[in-house]
């Protein structure tokens, strides 16, 4: 069975890990948000791609949600001594990834090509595709002014109230090689329980990707990021309130209308009414068994919907 999954970082990576235990090798293709990417200290950091790489390689720091397990921080300590910017933490081992990626990209290699090399180096079975090889940058208009995403998210800890979100550069971005083929060639397309506004919307905004989801014969199933009226992780609930959106599954269903055929929601939560198929399951993902259970539930719903 071939599966394409649209994903951001932390929450999405959990589902992708679950899917990787059910779907064989490169029959699983993760299409990853890159609008969180930025240059920091001259390095190209690609947070969601990094989280996917570390998670599927078994190297992720599960407690922190980003970066590597067993990380050391000598570089940051030395940087601080010299008065360097320390609001964004780069661990010693993590640094190797950013240095190699940046050097490769400066030589003209694409983000996709260098990501593929890391996938190989760590014997990851699934394919990890950045949504695009052209730069797309999330910027948020807030009550404290317009902020690049990482300044808002990490430095300001999502404190400023968000008025609107833009994906700068997206109009001229193209889907990375293999993205459209993965969506059209899939037996099921899954939208991970990542932040719809910050992690999935940038992917859908890349010209051609939304259209390929609308036209693929494969059933498209989203796993709702809402559990018990709360966003499972991150700033989503706060952001939804600031954007005057209700925090419930009806809102998620409306947001993905035209793109998804089915929505997997947490058991006991409100089921949205309307055209899309809805299934309930325990969607919390703490253990690997949880992640596999949610992956199976999403694929079961896709199978129930069937091909167009």
Our CB check for ligand FO1 shows the closer of 47 and 262 to be 47
Q: Which of 37, 133 has the CB closer to ligand FO1?
A: 37
CB of 8 to ligand FO1, least distance (A): 5
Question: What is the binding site for ligand FO1 (CB under 6 A)?
Answer: 8-9, 36, 45, 47-48, 50, 66-67, 88-90, 94, 150, 153-154
Would you call 166 helix, strand, or coil by DSSP? strand
Q: Minimal distance in Å, beta carbon 275 to ligand FO1?
A: 30
**Cα–Cα distance between 223 and 289 in angstroms, integer?**
17
> Which one, 67 or 193, has the nearer CB to ligand FO1?
67
Least Cβ distance, residue 234 to ligand FO1 (angstroms): 7
DSSP-derived 3-state class of residue 205? helix
Give dist(CA 12, CA 200) in Å, integer. Answer: 10
44 or 279: CB nearest ligand FO1: 44
Phi first, then psi: give them for residue 123, nearest 5 degrees: 50, 40
What are the start-end ranges of the H helices in 71-227? 74-81, 92-106, 111-121, 149-150, 179-185, 201-205, 209-215
- Residue 250 CB coordination number (10 Å): 14
Distance of closest approach, residue 44 Cβ to ligand FO1, in angstroms: 11
The closest alpha carbon to 250, from 268, 274, 266, belongs to: 274
Shortest reach from residue 91's CB to ligand FO1, in Å: 8
């Amino acid at each position: 069975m071939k599966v394409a999954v649209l994903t951001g970082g932390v929450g999405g990576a959990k589902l992708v890990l679950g899917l990787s235990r059910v779907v064989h090798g490169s029959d699983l293709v993760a299409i990853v948000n890159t609008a969180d990417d930025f240059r920091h200290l001259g390095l190209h950091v690609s947070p969601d791609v990094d989280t996917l790489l570390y998670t599927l390689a078994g190297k992720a720091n599960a407690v922190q949600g980003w970066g590597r397990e067993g990380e050391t921080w000598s570089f940051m300590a030395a940087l601080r001594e010299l008065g360097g910017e320390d609001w964004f933490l780069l661990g010693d081992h993590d640094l190797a990834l950013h240095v190699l990626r940046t050097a490769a990209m400066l030589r003209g290699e694409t983000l996709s090509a260098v990501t593929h090399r890391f996938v190989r180096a760590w014997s990851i079975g699934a394919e990890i595709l950045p949504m695009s090889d052209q730069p797309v940058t999330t910027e948020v208009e807030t009550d404290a002014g317009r902020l690049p995403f990482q300044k808002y998210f990490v430095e300001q800890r999502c404190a400023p109230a968000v008025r609107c979100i833009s994906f700068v550069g997206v109009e001229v971005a193209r889907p990375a090689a293999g993205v459209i083929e993965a969506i059209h060639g899939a037996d099921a397309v899954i939208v991970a329980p990542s932040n719809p506004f910050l992690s999935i919307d940038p992917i859908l905004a890349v010209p051609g990707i939304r259209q390929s989801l609308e036209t693929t014969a494969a059933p498209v199933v989203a796993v709702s990021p809402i559990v018990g009226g709360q966003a499972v992780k991150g700033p989503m609930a706060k952001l939804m309130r600031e954007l005057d959106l209700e925090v419930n599954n009806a809102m998620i269903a409306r947001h993905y209308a035209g793109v998804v055929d089915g929505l997997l929601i947490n058991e006991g939560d409100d089921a949205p009414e309307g055209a899309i198929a809805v299934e309930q399951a325990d969607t919390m993902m703490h253990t690997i068994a949880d992640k596999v259970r949610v992956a199976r539930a999403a694929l079961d719903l896709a199978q129930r919907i069937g091909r167009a």
